[in-house]
Structure 1
Amino acid sequence: MSNDVQQVQPLDSGIAEEWIRKTDEPDLRAVSASKLRAGPWWSVSVWVMEFVRTDPLESELRRRIAAALSDVSGVTDVEEEDREVWTVTGTPAGRALVEAVAQVVDDLTPQTRNSL
């Protein structure tokens, strides 16, 4: 199973930097982070959150993702923007954001797989 975290060329001109976790199970384990050109904001997408809609798993994933992002060096604020997107403020490294969330997703993959 691939778990590569790679920097990719952004397709959107409003994005300065983009990182993605390549995996054989994208619906369960993919994570991406995009640094916006304007301001100190990153957008972090967690693909599995589009499908997880039952508690206690949904609440646990949300809580742990927010905590993991908050713990990344350089992060000053974390807010949930959408069902599967978090906005991160500060000066973190994109790779570090993706790796932090990937660890949470991996920890909960067995429960997520059972839930889906």
Structure 2
Amino acid sequence: MSEDIQQVQPLDPGIAEEWVRKTEEPNLRAVSASRSREGDLWSISVWAMEFIRTDPLEPELRRRIANALSGVNGVTSVEEEDREVWAVTGTPTGKALVEAAAQAVDALADQLRDTL
């Protein structure tokens, strides 16, 4: 399965830096991270969270994503901002944030795939 984490040019002028995980299963495995021009605030988007709405899978994936992001070097706080978005503060790299969230998704990919 092809996938790649890369930095992309932000389309939004309020975004200083953006990283994406490109995958052949975007509804399941795509993740992105964007850093605001205002301080050390990152937004991490996990596409699968838009579609996963079953217990116990949804809360388990939420927990894994939050734990993975919290464990990234330089992260000082992690909060859920929206259904599929986490707000992260600190000085982590965008690539490390995408990798961490992607690993959380990949750990449950087979189960997630069955719900889509």
1:40 Cα offset (Å)? 1.0
1:8-87 counterparts in 2 under 5 A? 8-87=8-87
Could you report, residue by residue, the CA deviation over 1:89-114 in whole angstroms, capped at 9, with x for unpaired residues? 00000000000011111110100011
Could you report, residue by residue, the CA deviation over 1:62-90 in whole angstroms, capped at 9, with x for unpaired residues? 00000000000000000000000000000
Q: Quick one: distance in 1 between partners of 2:81 and 2:37?
A: 18
Mark the runs of 5 or more structure 2 residues left unpaired by the alignment: none
In the other structure, the counterpart of 1:101 is 101
Could you report, residue by residue, the CA deviation over 1:21-61 in whole angstroms, capped at 9, with x for unpaired residues? 00000000000000000011000000000000011000000
Aligned with 2:99: secondary structure?
Answer: helix
The list of structure 1 runs, each at least 4 consecutive aligned residues, that deviate by more than 6 angstroms after superposition, is none
Percent sequence identity is 74
Aligned with 2:52: secondary structure?
Answer: coil
Q: Quick one: distance in 2 between partners of 1:97 and 1:2?
A: 19
- TM-score with structure 2 setting the length: 0.99
In angstroms, what is the RMSD of aligned CA positions?
0.5
Count residues with an aligned counterpart. 116
Equivalent residue letter for 2:58: E
Mark the runs of 5 or more structure 1 residues left unpaired by the alignment: none
